[in-house]
Amino acid sequence: MSKEWLYRGISAASLLAVLLLWWCAATFGWVNPLFLPKPQTVWSAFMDVIRDGYKGQTLLNHIGTSMRRLFLALAAAFATAVPLGILCGRFRVLRAIVDPFIEFYRPLPPLAYYTLLILWFGITDVSKVLLLFLGAFAPLFITAVFSVQRLSPDRINGARSLGAKGWKLYAFIIFPSVLPELLTGLRTAVGVSYATLVAAEMVAAVSGIGWLVLDASKFLRSDIMYLGIIIMALIAIAIDLVIRSLIRRVSPWTEQ
Which pLDDT value is given to residue 31?
84
* Candidate from 5-19, 42-56, 230-244 with smallest mean pLDDT: 5-19
The CATH number of the structural domain formed by 37-255 is 1.10.3720.10
> How would residue 253 be classed by pLDDT, with cut points 50, 70 and 90?
low
pLDDT digits (tens, 9 = 90+) for 97-128: 999 999 998 888 887 888 888 889 887 888 88
Percentage of residues of the chain with pLDDT beyond 70: 95
> How would residue 254 be classed by pLDDT, with cut points 50, 70 and 90?
low
For the chain, what are the domain ranges?
1-34, 37-255
C-alpha closest to that of 188 among 146, 244, 249, 233? 244
pLDDT (mean) for 216-232: 91
Rounded Cα–Cα distance for residues 149 and 130 (Å): 28
Question: Residue 93 pLDDT more than 90?
Answer: yes
Rounded Cα–Cα distance for residues 45 and 25 (Å): 19
Report the mean per-residue pLDDT for the chain: 86
Question: Residue 252 pLDDT more than 70?
Answer: no
Which pLDDT value is given to residue 167?
75
Rounded Cα–Cα distance for residues 123 and 131 (Å): 12
More confident residue, 192 or 252: 192
pLDDT (mean) for 195-201: 82
What's phi and psi for 45, nearest 5 deg?
-65, -40
> How would residue 132 be classed by pLDDT, with cut points 50, 70 and 90?
very high
Question: Residue 240 pLDDT more than 80?
Answer: yes
Listed in sequence order, the DSSP H helices in the chain are 3-27, 39-52, 59-90, 92-105, 110-121, 125-149, 153-161, 167-169, 175-203, 209-218, 222-250
Which pLDDT value is given to residue 83?
93
Rounded Cα–Cα distance for residues 231 and 226 (Å): 9
pLDDT (mean) for 30-58: 89
What's phi and psi for 54, nearest 5 deg?
-140, 120
Which pLDDT value is given to residue 204?
67
> How would residue 1 be classed by pLDDT, with cut points 50, 70 and 90?
low
Question: Residue 92 pLDDT more than 60?
Answer: yes
> How would residue 3 be classed by pLDDT, with cut points 50, 70 and 90?
confident
Torsional class of 190: left (φ above 0), alpha (ψ -120 to 50), beta (otherwise): alpha
More confident residue, 182 or 8: 182
